[in-house]
Amino acid sequence: MAQVDRAVSPPHRLGFLRTLRTDAWWFEPAAIGIGLSVFLGYLTVSAFLDGWAYEIGPYLTPVFEPKLAGSFDAWYFSPALLILWVPVGFRATCYYYRRAYYRSYLLSPPGCAVGDAGKKYSGESTFPLVMQNLHRFFMYAALVFVVLLWIGAIRSFYNTESIIDGVAVETGWGIGLGSIVLVINATLLMMYSFSCHSFRHLVGGGSSCFSCSAVSRARKRIWDRVSAWNESHRTWAWASLIWIVFTDVYIRLVANGHITDPNTWGGF
């Protein structure tokens, strides 16, 4: 390699955190790093807390959705761990979250025009980061979870238990604050999935001819809609992450008797 290829123009220099920026470039990566740590940290802890009630009446926290068949006691570990690899894998390989944690955790780079960490860099061309190419497979699985979460949200409107915490309650169709919380949760997770870059590619982005057939023209219309959602992918990513934490906290507080859910079944 010619020496000129290695050059950077003076007065710039190579090196971690080298920059001439004078603004608070560090604020965004710091805030995102703290936010990710708090919300993902909570969900990690929650996944292991299968000994602390996570369902009551028609409500099941989404961390444990779908509820696996059979007795949970048969598992030697939290049943959430059997299903969480899908949403965890989906978010870990998500194009938005990659941007977020590459900047905030791997400092690669910590900010634009700020020297990155690491003396050598190969990006996503080598193991383990080449595994980011699995994103679309997690996306396929995540679409199944969208259906499962909606089933859970709809189920939350139908109570089958006549006695909850020793108190007689109504059964059948009804509505509670928990139902609304679960519907919002399913909606946000659906929008996060439907605004995914890989989903955008799947529905039409991979095509170079939108006018060739009735099918491709239909794909174009879907692609246009998904592209509009995709522009807010970061917003959906954060909104769905924050709301799943809120949903889990709410249902656990109700399930463990710390608060009462206002609902039409008589309250529990």
Part of the chain binding another protein (CB under 8 A), chosen from 5-13, 159-167, 239-247, 248-256:
5-13
Are 148 and 66 within 8 A, CB to CB?
yes
Contact flag: residue 225 with another protein (CB under 8 A): no
Burial 97-109 (b: 16+ CB within 10 A, else e): bbebbbbbeebeb
Are 249 and 214 in contact by the 8 Å Cβ rule? The answer is no
For residue 158, give the DSSP letter.
E
Total residues contacting another protein by CB under 8 A comes to 52
Rg (alpha carbons) of the chain, rounded to whole number: 23
Asked if 240 interacts with another protein (CB under 8 A), we say no
Query: What's the closest the beta carbon of residue 185 comes to another protein, in angstroms?
Result: 26
Q: Collapsing DSSP states into helix, strand and coil, what is residue 187?
A: helix
For residue 73, state whether it binds another protein (rule: CB under 8 A).
no
CB of 52 to another protein, least distance (A): 38
Give me the torsion for CA of 254, 260, 264, 265, rounded to 10°.
70
| Residue 7 makes contact with another protein by CB under 8 A | yes
Which of residues 116 and 261 has its CB atom nearest to another protein in the complex? Answer: 116
Name, in order, each residue with C-beta under 8 angstroms of 48's C-beta and a sequence gap of 6 or more. 78, 80, 81
Interface residue with another protein, options 45, 69, 209, 214 (CB under 8 A)? 209
Which amino acid makes up residue 196? C
The size of the chain, in residues, is 268
Site for another protein in 103-122 (CB under 8 A): 103, 108-109, 112-113, 115-116, 120-122
Q: Which of 179, 230, 247, 263 binds another protein (CB under 8 A)?
A: 230
Q: What is the separation of C-alpha 119 from the centre of its chain, rounded to a whole number of angstroms? A: 32
Using CB under 8 A as the criterion, which residues of the chain lie in contact with another protein when the complex forms? 1, 4-12, 14, 19-23, 95, 98-99, 102-103, 108-109, 112-113, 115-116, 120-125, 129-130, 133-136, 197-198, 201, 205-206, 208-211, 217, 220, 230-231
